[in-house]
Structure 1
Amino acid sequence: MPEECQLVDVAKTFPTLHIDLKYATADNITGHPIYREALCLLHPDATTALAKAISIATLAGLKLMVYDAYRPQQAQAQLWDACPNPEYVVDVAIGSNHSRGTAIDVTLMDEHDNLLDMGAGFDEMHDRSHPYHPSVPPQAQRNRLLLNAIMFGGGFVGISSEWWHFELPNAASYPLLDDRFDCFPLTHTSL
């Protein structure tokens, strides 16, 4: 796979998809915006899987909400600085599958655009974020299972520490990509 891979603009490809890029806002583990641009990009292979997942969600009367997709490596460095725990954040020296364009962070919404309860928030770096944690109430567990089924049906796999993270099964075999947009410097603070 060539380094020059053209990432797909998810917002343009799926104009009705709900997107709330958390790292373009202060609503994330760093407490400040990381992305200078709210661009939601994916590798073409992941875009194909996302299209299938969107169709499956629609069949169930649900919608996907995207929290993150492609992530510049400089953003990954900031997340590692904020949470240097390899259970939740991949060391930038290894490289995140987000930085390959092969991973996406999502949740589910109902037909009225209400987020489904997942029992833990996005970027909640705690064992409650693990997909099958016993402290998560049954309805939230069912919502997580539904999200897993939808994303699996699309062609993604989950990970053991974050209910919201999905990636292509061979995600790590794709090359790390050069940064496609700029990030705020690590010392940036919100007003």
Structure 2
Amino acid sequence: MAGSELVEITSSQYRVDIDLVYATANNFAGRPVYAQARCALRPEAAACLLHAARAAYRAGYRLKVFDAYRPPRAQQIFWALCPDPRYIADASQGSNHTRGVAVDVTLMDAHGKPLDMGTGFDAMEDLSHHDRDDLPQQVQRNRCLLLGIMLQAGFCSIATEWWHYELPDSKSYALLDDSVVTAVPE
């Protein structure tokens, strides 16, 4: 993408399914927040995603991407809807998604069916936290499998969202306002 610090993530090149839920009304905002469904990351994060996708594929799975780079205006919309720093970064501080170094993913089986992770993507509740003893063993196993794939690929996790992974030292990357993805005007 000429003039951008981001690289576009495509299904064919990265062997991932892409379902950018914020480009649809099927998200916690209840409306499209992104004007287009383009998936992008900084090159360092894209390389880790490719590594994770290859590892998932070797194990008989496929990654599904829900979110990657997020424009600042979208972060403002999310913060206004859910000003809870456990789940949404304060828009005035910036998000690691807005830095282009965070990705939200799940695992699908060989038939394209998402694995049961115990909650849906963007379920902003305690059951979405990684360290839960009250979830079925299969859900625990699925979360551990995703966590292992993403960690070995070079990402780190956050405690409150089983789907969210980011580069270590994410805050060392500058916030971006890249037109590759834009927010829907209100």
Which TM-score band (shorter chain)?
over 0.9
Q: TM-score, normalised by structure 2?
A: 0.94
Q: TM-score, normalised by structure 1?
A: 0.92
Quote the residue 2:117 is aligned against.
118
Q: Distance in 1 between matches of 2:14 and 2:149?
A: 20
- Deviating beyond 4 angstroms after TM superposition, the runs of 4 or more aligned structure 1 residues are none
Quote the residue 1:189 is aligned against.
none
Quote the residue 2:23 is aligned against.
24
Q: Which secondary structure does the structure 2 equivalent of 1:93 belong to?
A: coil
One-letter amino acid of the counterpart of residue 115, structure 2? L
Give the CA deviation at 1:166.
0.1
Superposed CA offset, 1:111-158 (max 9, x none): 000000000110000000001222221101110000000001110000
- Shift in alpha-carbon separation, 1:56–1:15, aligned structure 2, 3 A: closer
Q: Distance in 1 between matches of 2:132 and 2:116?
A: 14
Residues 74, 179 of structure 1: 8 Å contact kept: no
Residues 5, 43 of structure 1: 8 Å contact kept: no
Residues 15, 62 of structure 2: 8 Å contact kept: no
Quote the residue 1:184 is aligned against.
184
- Pairwise CA RMSD of aligned residues? 1.3
One-letter amino acid of the counterpart of residue 183, structure 2? C
Q: Which secondary structure does the structure 2 equivalent of 1:66 belong to?
A: strand
One-letter amino acid of the counterpart of residue 44, structure 1? P
Quote the residue 1:172 is aligned against.
171
Aligned identity (percent) is: 49
Task: Say how many residue pairs are matched.
Answer: 183
In structure 2, list runs of 5 or more residues that go unmatched: none
Q: Which secondary structure does the structure 1 equivalent of 2:97 belong to?
A: helix
Quote the residue 2:127 is aligned against.
128
Residues 15, 53 of structure 2: 8 Å contact kept: no
Q: Which secondary structure does the structure 2 equivalent of 1:98 belong to?
A: coil
Give the CA deviation at 1:170.
1.3
Q: Distance in 1 between matches of 2:55 and 2:66?
A: 19
